[in-house]
Each structure stands twice: as structure tokens, then as C-alpha cells.
Amino acid sequence: VKRNPHEPEFHQAVKEVAESVIPFINKNPQYKLAHILERMTEPDKVVSFRVSWEDDDGNIRINRGYRVQFNNSIGPYKGGLRFDPSVNLSVLKFLGFEQTFKNSLTTLPIGAGKGGSDFNPKGKSDREIMRFCQSFMTQLYQHIGPNMDVPAGDIGVGSREISYLFGQYKRLTHQFESVLTGKSLEFGGSLIRTEATGYGNAYFMQAMLAHQKEEIAGKACLVSGSGNVALHCAEKIIQLGGKVLTLSDSSGTLYVAEGIDQTKLDIIKDVKTRQRKRLSVLTEQFTCEFYEGKKPWHIQAELAFPCATQNELTEQDAITLADNGCIAVSEGANMPCTPESVQIFSERGVLYAPGKASNAGGVAVSALEMSQNSIRMSWSEQELEQKLHDIMQQIHDQCVKYGSKNGQINYVDGANIAGFIKVADAMLAYGVV
């Protein structure tokens, strides 16, 4: 806390990992002697820069841009860019730190980074978004490269923004290279990347339930958010036979008592992704309720998938979920459950999958996008979905291997320890760096 003042999200993320990993390190003194965890909690490099851009009225606007290059021990830095007013160094350091373990868990050769800006894309015109992205990349391009650092999208950065960023990188460097993932299919993108985080989260839940001889089919599910992760998580749940009761956005929760089917989901996707409107407009389109300013967690269901943002599920929400018979929670977002809520899940026997394991599908398919770019080939949708499914199963199995104790599985410990080992061993091999 003294070393990194005013960084509560970063402290929260490090504390959670330290609690799992320190007992393991104590039993494996080679890591302790080399101070591996202390080294891992310090990013390799942080860059912060001014992003000046002009709005449609000719006013000059100033935002702050960042790239946190956390750890490249097992591959080039890799992690998303977030454009949101809540972005600050603490948030990006927490995300970059988490990414280290997540990327290691994918079994693929990718290091960890995160970046973004406090720019608010809401209410901006398409041209303003373009000018902002171009200005942002004009600062960022010298710090990234296909073997150095390969950013992707995150909150507020979807395929439109990635296209503007990639176009500017190409213009600045005269290179067509795999420097960003989440690209459109016409210029090097991968099939299934858009769906990967949400689909992967549903697959992780499937694996976690299968381990308990349970399944998603027939179960009532709460999904929060209605962005990229939430919409595709809902889609895969529907395909697996689950009943999706809710989606939400920053203005409230959409509740569909009979369950959201694919037809309704397509309408919702259009409203959120193409029209960029609030979920509340859907009350005019089909039978549903909209709870203004509320999250989904008070509704009775067996499975919960928080897919919106950090700390969106509190201790009280966890108590309500457990009281209502929820048996498992799988995080689609990064750190959506507060530490107090995770404690409640543990006490009440609710299975809990931390995002670094359950939402790793997105970055895994990003790494597959890099592989496809390198070999200048594209794999089919079926091949990629099979690979995604297999990776999620492997992540699950690593969590079971390292998180099992007295017949119980602690997925937090499992994910943290499994993710730690690979990076730590690489750092040990490099000597003091």
C-alpha cells in the first residue's frame, strides 16, 4: 500500500493472488529465495501519454492514455485496451496483473499487458471516435509490435475502434503486421474471437458443473451486462439448454420471465451493438420487465454469470443469490465479485470460478488469431470453437489439479497457483531480470 498508494483495485487483485500463492511458495522455496512474487507484482514498464483530439465542434479535448506492460516472461505482452472514464493506473495495473495469470492458464505463449484511456466513448460521433483512436495510436505505436506487445479490445473498444487503431498503426509504420487482435475478418481477424470470452465462460461453467455431475441444461441463469461478453455468454447458455432470465446495462436490468431465446437475443444484440441504445427500449418490443438502476442478483436462479464490470456483485448480492438457491457463479467480467462476496460463496458452498480462469477464452482466441496471422492462414469456425472448448476444459482441469483440498475444489487457489507456476519458472530460468 505504501509503495503503490491510491491503487485500491490493484491492491485487491494482488491480495487475492498472494493469499493463494504464498502458502504454495512457502512449500517451494526456490520461488521465495528468488523473490518471484515481489517481482511479478511490479510491472515491467508503464507508459502514460497525452491524447489530444478535436471534437465535432472544433474544441480541443485532452485525455490520458496508458499501456501497462506487466510481464513478458512467456510471450509478448498481450491484453486489452479499455476506453472508459473510470480508467486510471490502479484499474489498469489490476487488469494487467490478473492478465499475467490468465494468459499463463491458457497454455498459450502470451505475456500480459493492459492499456486504455479515460476517454468516454458514450455519446461521441463516429468521426470523434476515429479521431480519438488515431491520436491514441500516434502515441502508442512506438511501444507495441507483433513480437513486443499486441493489444486487443476491452470495455469501450470493439471492432470499430480496433479498425481505426489498426488503420493508424499501418499508416504510421507502413507495416501490415499482427499488432492488434480482434481485427475484422477482412484484414486478419479470427472467426470466433468476438464470441470467445462469452462462449468460453459458458464452457467453463459447463466443465465446473460436469465435475459435480450437473449440467447447464434446464437451469435458470442470470447474466449481467449486455456487451460483448454478456451477449455471447447468453448465446452459448441458450445453445446448451439453459434459461437466460436477465441481461443488464449501466441503467438497469432486463428481466424476461419465460427466458431469452435466440430470436429475442438477436433483437437485443441489434439494440445494444448496432443502435447503441439502452436495454429499457426493449419493453416496447417484447414481454419483459425493466428494473431501473437495479442489478440482476435479486432474481431467483441456479446459475449466475457476472459479465459487466468490476465489483458489480457485492456481499449482500452473494447472500441473496445463495438464499435463492444459486449453486454456481462463473465470472465473465474481470473481478466482478467483491472479495466479501467470494467469501460468502465459499461459506455457502456456491461454486465460484474467478474471471482469470473462466473468461480466458477471449485472450486464448486472440493468441490463436496471432498464430493464424503468423502462418497467413485462417482456421474454420468449427476448428476454432473446438480449440476454445478444449482450452477452457484444460484451464478447468488445471484449477482442479492445483485447487483440490480435502475433496473440495477452490478454483481461486487452483487458477492462481497454476497460472503462477509457468511464469515463475520462466522468471527463475532468466536469472535476476
By the criterion CB under 6 A, which residues form the site for ligand NDP? 153-156, 197, 225-230, 248-251, 307-309, 312, 332-334, 359, 362
Cα separation, 392 vs 360, whole angstroms: 8
Q: What is the largest CA-CA distance in the chain?
A: 65
Of 299, 297, 303, the closest CA to residue 209 belongs to: 303
Kindly tell me which of 156 and 189 has the beta carbon lying closer to ligand NDP: 156
Cα separation, 129 vs 63, whole angstroms: 13
Phi, psi of 290 (to 5 degrees): -125, 120
Q: Least Å distance between CB 285 and ligand NDP?
A: 17
Q: Least Å distance between CB 38 and ligand NDP?
A: 26
Q: Which three cell numbers stand for residue 231?
A: 451477449
Question: Which residue, judged by CB position, is nearest to ligand NDP in the bound state?
Answer: 227
Phi, psi of 390 (to 5 degrees): -65, -40
Kindly tell me which of 36 and 364 has the beta carbon lying closer to ligand NDP: 364
Phi, psi of 254 (to 5 degrees): -95, 125
Q: Least Å distance between CB 90 and ligand NDP?
A: 14
Q: Is the Cβ–Cβ distance between 140 and 67 less than 8 Å?
A: yes
Of 118, 114, 149, 142, the closest CA to residue 53 belongs to: 118
Kindly tell me which of 25 and 133 has the beta carbon lying closer to ligand NDP: 133
Whether 15 is a known active-site residue: answer: no
Kindly tell me which of 76 and 361 has the beta carbon lying closer to ligand NDP: 361
DSSP percent split of the chain into helix, strand, coil, nearest 5: 50, 20, 35
Kindly tell me which of 8 and 173 has the beta carbon lying closer to ligand NDP: 8
Q: Annotated catalytic residue: which of 114, 183, 219, 272?
A: 114
Q: Is the Cβ–Cβ distance between 414 and 204 less than 8 Å?
A: no
Q: Least Å distance between CB 334 and ligand NDP?
A: 4
The cell 488445471 sits on which residue? 398
Catalytic residues: 114
